[in-house]
């Protein structure tokens, strides 16, 4: 079933706010908003809400305040409230829309997607692309909305447009591969990756060749390319090591993967993603104590991009070890930091019975 392409009044309003806006407040006065955003980054949501109340009382900029409040509500899983906030932020835009307004629209569309309101999300991406006709991210995301609403053909058109706009972006092609595969279009997805290797790009790096080979399931080729990349002086080593270890994992050789990760971390320990992958390998090997140590080492680095996965995996390690009391304690901490995680809510109920 194709997604309806009719432009509703909501789209007209959205485009209008992007183009005109009403404006409100002074952009220079937003110290409480900034402090609130810092609290959100630290998962201190009650403190963030207090800052936003203070910002409202002080008459701080509405555009920034509503955007920040939307981010807070989104993190709390209060998606309807978040949508209302993002729309208010856009309505407070004055003059020509800037980067922040487009960023707010991406937040808005993503929130619609969390509610599975794919038609509404698509309209937001339509609005972005009406003003930024070469935004590959908007084409990719609009393609996702169409794919999720079973408009496969429309999704492919947008994915192709995104790839045309970014011809050497292999990460983008891998994301499209994953999306199509997850929706049941495995062979079509593989063709996208295979074409990367067939149309040999003279500038394609060994790491990129290794990436593509890995996702195509050619583990031996992937390993060869990644080993070459690991020994190249100019190549960033962390992503190479992460994928190289995973080639071993896919073949069930967890000892090889653990060796790859540990060797790298002994020289450069500032990589929470690699600690996380090491911990997962140790989990698979039944080394629950080692897994906990790895997850804790990753968490200690304080990188918010990985803290969610690391903490949940640490909980899993304690569960496997039979230490349900510690798992329950950490789950309470996790639920406070990530209240929007419905799966964790069910897991918390399970732990309460142990």
Domain 269-354 has CATH 1.25.40.10: yes
Q: Are 86 and 14 in contact (CB under 8 A)?
A: no
% of the chain beyond a pLDDT of 70? 89
Give just the sign of the alpha carbon dihedral 134, 111, 314, 46.
positive
**pLDDT the model gives residue 13:** 37
Condensed to tens digits (0 to 9), the pLDDT of residues 31-58 reads: 999 999 999 999 999 999 999 999 999 9
Q: Are 175 and 140 in contact (CB under 8 A)?
A: yes
C-alpha–C-alpha distance, residues 29 and 47, integer Å:
19
C-alpha–C-alpha distance, residues 188 and 149, integer Å:
18
C-alpha–C-alpha distance, residues 178 and 174, integer Å:
6
The domain spans of the chain are 7-131, 133-204, 269-354
Tokens, residue 219:
């583990």
Condensed to tens digits (0 to 9), the pLDDT of residues 197-230 reads: 887 778 899 999 999 999 999 999 999 999 999 9
Report the SS3 class of residue 151: coil
Tokens, residue 342:
């419905």
Q: What is the pTM for the complete model shown?
A: 0.84
C-alpha–C-alpha distance, residues 288 and 117, integer Å:
40
Q: Does 268 score more than 70 pLDDT?
A: yes
Condensed to tens digits (0 to 9), the pLDDT of residues 76-87 reads: 999 999 999 999
Length of the chain: 354
Higher-confidence residue: 150 or 8? Answer: 150
Q: Does 252 score more than 70 pLDDT?
A: yes
Condensed to tens digits (0 to 9), the pLDDT of residues 156-201 reads: 999 999 999 999 999 999 999 999 999 999 999 999 999 998 877 7
Condensed to tens digits (0 to 9), the pLDDT of residues 284-309 reads: 999 999 999 999 999 999 998 899 99
Contacts of 98 (CB under 8 A, 6+ apart): none
% of the chain beyond a pLDDT of 90? 80
Nearest CA among 104, 102, 96 for reference residue 69: 104
Q: Does 26 score more than 80 pLDDT?
A: no
- Out of 2.40.128.30, 3.40.50.300, 1.25.40.10, 3.90.1150.10, the CATH code matching 7-131 is 1.25.40.10
Q: In Å, how far are 38, 101, 112, 127, 188 from 105, measured between CA atoms? A: 21, 6, 11, 9, 30
Q: How confident is the model at residue 345 (pLDDT cuts 50, 70, 90)?
A: low
Q: How confident is the model at residue 350 (pLDDT cuts 50, 70, 90)?
A: low
Nearest CA among 198, 207, 199, 193 for reference residue 244: 207
CA angle 238–242–248, rounded 5-degree value? 145
Tokens, residue 184:
């049941």
Q: Which fold has domain 133-204?
A: 1.25.40
- Domain 133-204 identical in fold to domain 269-354: yes
Return mean pLDDT, the chain. Answer: 89
């Amino acid at each position: 079933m194709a997604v309806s392409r009719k432009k509703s009044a909501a789209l007209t309003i959205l485009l209008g706010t992007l183009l005109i806006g009403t404006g409100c407040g002074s952009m220079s006065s937003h110290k409480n908003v900034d402090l609130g955003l810092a609290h959100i980054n630290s998962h201190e949501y009650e403190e963030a809400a207090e800052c936003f109340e203070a910002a409202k009382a002080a008459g701080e900029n509405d555009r920034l305040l509503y955007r920040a409040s939307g981010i807070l509500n989104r993190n709390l899983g209060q998606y309807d409230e978040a949508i209302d906030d993002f729309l208010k932020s856009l309505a407070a835009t004055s003059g020509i829309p800037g980067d922040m307004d487009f960023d707010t629209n991406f937040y808005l569309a993503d929130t619609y997607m969390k509610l599975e309101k794919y038609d509404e999300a698509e309209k937001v991406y339509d609005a972005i692309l009406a003003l930024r006709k070469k935004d590959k991210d908007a084409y990719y995301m609009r393609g996702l909305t169409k794919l999720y609403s079973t408009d496969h053909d429309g999704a492919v058109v947008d994915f192709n447009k995104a790839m045309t706009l970014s011809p050497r972006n292999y990460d983008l092609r891998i994301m499209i591969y994953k999306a199509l595969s997850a929706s049941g279009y495995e062979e079509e997805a593989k063709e996208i990756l295979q074409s990367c290797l067939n149309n040999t790009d003279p500038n394609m790096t060994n790491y990129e060749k290794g990436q593509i080979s890995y996702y195509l399931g050619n583990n031996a080729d992937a390993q060869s390319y990644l080993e070459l990349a690991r020994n190249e002086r100019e190549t960033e080593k962390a992503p190479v090591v992460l994928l190289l270890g995973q080639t071993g994992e896919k073949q069930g050789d967890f000892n090889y993967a653990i060796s790859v990760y540990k060797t790298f971390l002994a020289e450069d320990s500032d990589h929470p993603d690699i600690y996380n992958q090491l911990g997962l390998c140790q989990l698979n090997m039944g080394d629950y104590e080692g897994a906990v140590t790895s997850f804790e080492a990753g968490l200690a680095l304080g990188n918010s991009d990985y803290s969610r996965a690391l903490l949940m995996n640490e909980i899993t390690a304690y569960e496997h070890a039979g230490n349900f009391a510690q798992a329950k304690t950490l789950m309470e901490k996790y639920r406070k930091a990530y209240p929007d995680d419905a799966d964790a809510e069910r897991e918390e109920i399970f732990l309460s019975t142990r």
